[in-house]
Structure 1
Amino acid sequence: MSQRMNRKQWLSVALIAIIALFAGIGISHWLAKNRLSGDPSAQQFFQQEWVKPDGQILNPAIWQSRLVLVNFWASWCPPCVAEMPALDQLSKDLASKPVIFIGVGIDSPSNIREFLLKTTVSYPIVIGGLEGSQMGKTLGNSQGALPFTVIIDAKGQIIYRKLGKIDADELKNVILKAI
């Protein structure tokens, strides 16, 4: 009799495990379909402490409810420098929209400060350094090359990645479709 109880107990446990497995799979698919789970790499970006060239610390958690365009660049990178006026103009054109532009300088603080004295950029620039380079890789830049641009939607999903010089019209279309 105790052997039968054991078998019944095992069957009950196995049935519960199978139900839990399918419930977990179903919830996971639902979260992904409804974009409620957020991309873990994007969440890391929002948890990083970013410092502006003037030493001011920015809290990226306040950007989470907005569409965020992140552009990784360096002052020694000709395509990076060439695309900055277009990014600056696009940020101004979309200033009334729920989108924020962030430039992550993969350079020394002094080089970034010197560059910004000569080049007007209206959106926030933060110092990336080695952590910024690693963050670019975390967000999908496996080559570590520059420039690299990512757009993260308000739900924390990466909706756009571009390695190389951006196309302003393409970016504008992606942003307008996402907001």
Structure 2
Amino acid sequence: MKSTKLLYGLLALAALLLGILAERWMSGGSSVPPRIAEPASLRDLDGNPREIAEWKGKVLVLNFWASWCAPCREEMPEFVRMQTELGDQGLQFVGVAIDESEAVQEFLKETPVNYPILLGGGGAVSWAQSLGNRFNVLPFSAVFDRDGQPVDVHAGPLSRERLMKVVGPLLK
């Protein structure tokens, strides 16, 4: 009887530990991505090379998206509002399109944004993976503090509430 209870207790403990390990593996072990160099091929819509270092000193929300991605399209108006409301406090959104230039420009005619859009090219997918996007989910966002250090990543649509929990303290 005691050995059966002990066995069940050990099995329950093993299941709990496996669950914790599985959750950590699925989330990358942390919501803070490693510091990874950006791809060399980032260009703005005019074809000019751009570097993320341009926004050092700001709280940066780097959002990977595509014009064909419905959840990406849905979260962008909130990003536009937040850029307007909090840009003076140091919040900066930058969109990294994983898409063709023509498709991005066509989309932005219908849905203008007030923050920079960069064309990521093929390197953007690898970059997003290196930041923690293990399953190539779009949208995918990474938040960096004013020193350019990563503080959070989020796969899937990012709500204002979730984003404010992360960026709010960084804007003070």
Q: Which amino acid in structure 2 is aligned with residue 114 of structure 1? A: E
Q: Secondary structure at the match of 1:40?
A: coil
| Cα separation, 2, equivalents of 1:92 and 1:161 | 22
Query: Is 2:155 the counterpart of 1:163?
Result: yes
May I ask how many residue pairs the two structures share in their alignment? 139
Name the structure 2 match of 1:114. Answer: 106
Q: Is the 8 A contact 1:52 1:125 kept in 2?
A: yes
Q: Is the 8 A contact 1:49 1:60 kept in 2?
A: no
Q: Is the 8 A contact 2:41 2:121 kept in 1?
A: no
Q: Is the 8 A contact 2:63 2:142 kept in 1?
A: yes
Q: For 1:1-179, what aligned pairs fall within 5 Å after superposition?
A: 39-41=34-36, 44-45=37-38, 48-179=40-171
| Cα separation, 1, equivalents of 2:136 and 2:90 | 29
Q: Secondary structure at the match of 2:89?
A: coil
Q: Which amino acid in structure 2 is aligned with residue 83 of structure 1? A: E
Q: Which amino acid in structure 1 is aligned with residue 147 of structure 2? A: K
Q: Which amino acid in structure 2 is aligned with residue 68 of structure 1? A: L
Q: Which amino acid in structure 1 is aligned with residue 138 of structure 2? A: L
| Cα separation, 1, equivalents of 2:41 and 2:92 | 17
Moved more, 61-70 or 94-103: 61-70
Using the size of structure 1 for normalisation, the TM-score is 0.72
Q: Is the 8 A contact 2:43 2:49 kept in 1?
A: yes
Deviating 4+ runs (over 6 angstroms): none
Contiguous gaps of at least 5 residues in structure 2: 1-32
- C-alpha deviation, 1:64, in angstroms: 2.2
Q: Which amino acid in structure 2 is aligned with residue 80 of structure 1? A: C
Using the size of structure 2 for normalisation, the TM-score is 0.75
Q: Is the 8 A contact 2:42 2:121 kept in 1?
A: no
What percentage of residue pairs aligned between the two structures are identical?
32
| Cα separation, 1, equivalents of 2:53 and 2:89 | 18
Between structures 1 and 2, the one with greater helix share: 1
Q: Render the CA deviation track for 1:150-172: whole Å, top value 9, x for unaligned.
A: 10112332211110011112212
| Cα separation, 2, equivalents of 1:110 and 1:151 | 27
| Cα separation, 2, equivalents of 1:115 and 1:68 | 23
Q: Which amino acid in structure 2 is aligned with residue 175 of structure 1? A: V
Contiguous gaps of at least 5 residues in structure 1: 1-37
Q: Which amino acid in structure 2 is aligned with residue 73 of structure 1? A: W
RCO comparison, higher one (Cα < 8 Å, 6+)? 2
